[in-house]
Structure 1
Amino acid sequence: MTGRERPHVFHLITRLLKGGAEAKTIATVLGLEEYEFTVGYGAASDQAQVDRLERNGVETKRFPLIRHYNPVTTVPAVVSLARYLRRNEFNIVHTHSTEAGIIGRFAAWLADVPVVVHTVHGVPFAEDRNALLNRFVLQCERAAARRTDRIVTNADAITEEYLQRGIGRSEQYTTVYSGIDLDRFRDASPAEDIDGSDVRVLMVSRLVDGKGFYDLFDALERIESDAVTVYIVGDGPLREDLEMAVERRGLPVRLLGYRSDVESIMAACDLFVLPSYREGTPRVITEAMASGLPVVSTDIAGIPEQVVDGENGFLIQPGDVDGLVDRLERLIESAELREEFGAVGRKRVEQFSIEAMLSDLDAVYRDILETKC
């Protein structure tokens, strides 16, 4: 330990944007008061997120060489970060996401940081990604795991998959579910711009590849009911393409862009859909459950630990448009089923509170610091 009264923890994330991994990281550094935090981030960032951290007394540091899937800058990024870590006496380096996780753990090892923690927010290996890239990432993850004291996953299923792929040892892993402010979603008033008599289907996601937007569009063309409107909340590089596809196909879809009132939009909608090809344990599904919405999503990663098929929603395989059509139609046609599933979801969501998440992460830090420092 250093001479500081509180342990000094350095969090590193690839992109400080407005996604689930960023939300969990920010909630951690703002919620755990017994630690001193610094947050590092790569080339891509949202200034509002940086400002929020600094406004709350959290120091931030940008590392422009850390970029999303850019192997050219990886080695220089490791060297640059290691120099920074040597100059600052951190007790813990806690990395997030694939690129920052690999770069940060090797840099921490070079800088001889006492404790290294890594959080897996989502499985980076997917069939819709390049096979060579998948193999490269796998080898990097295996090597980085050997330089990690604790690997935190968002779901037991992610731990199992990583172990099956030869990443780390079972004793390194701890599951900490992503937590949210449940009351914010339970007590929200409906958004005034979400109205009408249609069944309102909601999807909240960054507009990027791998989220299943076009599967949803294909399903909408086959759903027989005319009384359906789909709302998509989020922003990202696919926005223009998605808007063109909606217009070209004549779909009942409204793209709302980024919204800060997601809880109010959920309160105004009837069901939630997320047909992703890769996820961790999505916060948006937890938020939908807290809002009392039934969920239709894919049977991947930690989602089955949130959604029990046939109890608070339906699960399908990635790319199963037939299944997506069937499950959406069943919920669109039955308000009673939507209400039944929503009530079960409200009960299941208790384990995903922000208080539980912070308590579990605090226990991880304390356990390792007592062991190693």
Structure 2
Amino acid sequence: MTGSERPRVFHLITRLLKGGAEAKTIATVRGLDGYEFTVGYGAEYDPEQVNLLERTGVATRRFPLMRHYNPVTSVPAVLSLARYLRREGFDIVHTHSTEAGIIGRFAAALAGVPNVVHTVHGVPFADDRNDALNRFVLTCERQAANYTDRIVTNADVIADDYLARGIGTSDQYTTVYSGVDLDAFADAQPAADLPGERPRVVMIGRLADGKGHGVLLDAVESLGDVEGSVCIVGDGPLYDDLDAAIAERGLSDRVFLTGFRDDVPRVLAASDVLVLPSFREGTPRVITEAMASGLPVVATDIAGIPEQVEDGKNGYLVPTGNSKPLAERLRTLLADAELRERMGARGLERADRFSVTRMVEELDDLYRELLAE
């Protein structure tokens, strides 16, 4: 790279769908000036996300051998990606998520890429996953850390967790909170077409394992005739199963599946409480979005969530997999409009530290530091 050229940065993510990791990656490449970006992704992708990147001048590249938790194709994926990286001569490779992080860093090492960054969007080790799979991922993460210049986490507690597991060394880690366009949520007009009565509890995210949808249904079932409704916003492989479970439990008059919505700010503006009973997360963007919308949050006490939600201040933290405390906290908030307003105002104050502007600036500083070394 000469002084007149823009540094070439390659981002690699396992699946280019409509989740939080993808949103952070897209916000980064669209928000940073002075770099030439390419975004690589695996077998699963949403054409709308690819089109969004290409419309804004970001090149994309699909790697079909990179698949979600498929060890059979992992080695061929590493070799294929290494050939591509060697040919293209990127200045920085920045990987995201577990599979892309492992495959991408091994490939970057083979290709001799001078600077390698990995972002941990969520801790992949969880109680609801197979022990053998957890051990395999841990071994891979420890090895991949040897080929990483910087490991970016969404929360300090995630860095502490990784270090305690023997992944990398403390000088490799830096925390960059997931950024959100706060103004888009503060100024949003409420969506008028959401089903159910208010007060409205909303859960937003991909309908997939690990998010705790079943725990939420257990909690709602135990609430009885408490006033209000629940909207589950999103799409994914569990849609049909959740639809059937809602009907079987007799909750169809209180719990509604809306499918995917592209107007999340308006959905939050039309809601009163955000719930997120996940088994694994990083620092979820949707919590920041709810805070920016002035909503209290009830979420599991895992990963970076306690750095967003201060228990009893702007929401409540509950243990994973336990519907009873979740139901109790929802009951409290649904019954007390003043409490919801007070907690929402505190969340709005805390949201400033999670702005997209701050996130992009900190990643720019990180890139510049690496390129200067």
Q: TM (normalized to structure 1)?
A: 0.98
Measured on the aligned residues, the alpha-carbon RMSD in Å equals 1.0
1:345 lines up with 2:347 in the alignment: yes
Question: Shift of residue 226 of structure 1?
Answer: 3.5
Give the 3-state SS of the residue equivalent to 2:33 in structure 1: coil
- Per-residue CA distance 1:110-164 (angstroms, 9 max, x = gap): 0000000000000000010000000000000000000000000000010000000
Unpaired runs of 5+ in structure 2?
none
Question: Shift of residue 197 of structure 1?
Answer: 4.5
Give the 3-state SS of the residue equivalent to 1:347 in structure 2: helix
Query: Percent identity over the alignment?
Result: 67
- Provide the aligned length of Structure 1 versus Structure 2: 371
- Report if aligned partners of 1:292, 1:346 keep a CA contact under 8 Å in 2: yes
- Report if aligned partners of 2:196, 2:256 keep a CA contact under 8 Å in 1: no
Instruction: Give the aligned partner of residue 277 of structure 2.
Output: 275
Give the 3-state SS of the residue equivalent to 1:26 in structure 2: helix
The 2-side partners of 1:229 and 1:38 are apart by 43
- Per-residue CA distance 1:156-215 (angstroms, 9 max, x = gap): 010000000000000000000000100000000000113665310000010001111111
1:109-258 mapped onto 2 (5 Å cutoff): 109-194=109-194, 197-251=197-251, 252-258=254-260
- Report if aligned partners of 1:96, 1:121 keep a CA contact under 8 Å in 2: yes
Indicate how the Cα distance of structure 1 residues 50 and 4 shifts in structure 2: closer, same or farther if over 3 A, else same. farther
The 1-side partners of 2:109 and 2:195 are apart by 54
The 1-side partners of 2:282 and 2:335 are apart by 30
Instruction: Give the aligned partner of residue 293 of structure 2.
Output: 291
One of 301, 304, 314 as aligned partner of 1:302: 304
1:359 lines up with 2:364 in the alignment: no
The 1-side partners of 2:218 and 2:86 are apart by 52
Give the 3-state SS of the residue equivalent to 2:144 in structure 1: helix
Q: Which amino acid aligns with 1:369?
A: L
The 2-side partners of 1:224 and 1:241 are apart by 22
- Report if aligned partners of 2:195, 2:231 keep a CA contact under 8 Å in 1: no
Give the 3-state SS of the residue equivalent to 1:136 in structure 2: helix
- Report if aligned partners of 2:201, 2:273 keep a CA contact under 8 Å in 1: yes
Unpaired runs of 5+ in structure 1?
none
- Which moved further from structure 2: 321-330 or 188-197? 188-197
- Per-residue CA distance 1:65-109 (angstroms, 9 max, x = gap): 000000000000000000000110100000000000000000000
1:5 lines up with 2:2 in the alignment: no
Give the 3-state SS of the residue equivalent to 1:43 in structure 2: coil
Give the 3-state SS of the residue equivalent to 1:25 in structure 2: helix
- Report if aligned partners of 1:14, 1:66 keep a CA contact under 8 Å in 2: yes
- Report if aligned partners of 1:105, 1:148 keep a CA contact under 8 Å in 2: yes
Instruction: Give the aligned partner of residue 331 of structure 1.
Output: 333
The 2-side partners of 1:11 and 1:194 are apart by 36
Give the 3-state SS of the residue equivalent to 1:227 in structure 2: coil
- Report if aligned partners of 1:2, 1:91 keep a CA contact under 8 Å in 2: no
Question: Shift of residue 7 of structure 1?
Answer: 0.5
1:312 lines up with 2:314 in the alignment: yes
Q: TM (normalized to structure 2)?
A: 0.98
- Per-residue CA distance 1:218-259 (angstroms, 9 max, x = gap): 111111444221001110000000000011111111101110
Question: Shift of residue 325 of structure 1?
Answer: 1.0
Q: Which amino acid aligns with 1:70?
A: N
The 2-side partners of 1:214 and 1:197 are apart by 22
Q: Which amino acid aligns with 1:125?
A: F
Q: Post-superposition, which runs of at least 4 consecutive aligned residues in structure 1 deviate over 4 A?
A: none
The 2-side partners of 1:231 and 1:283 are apart by 18
Question: Shift of residue 5 of structure 1?
Answer: 1.2
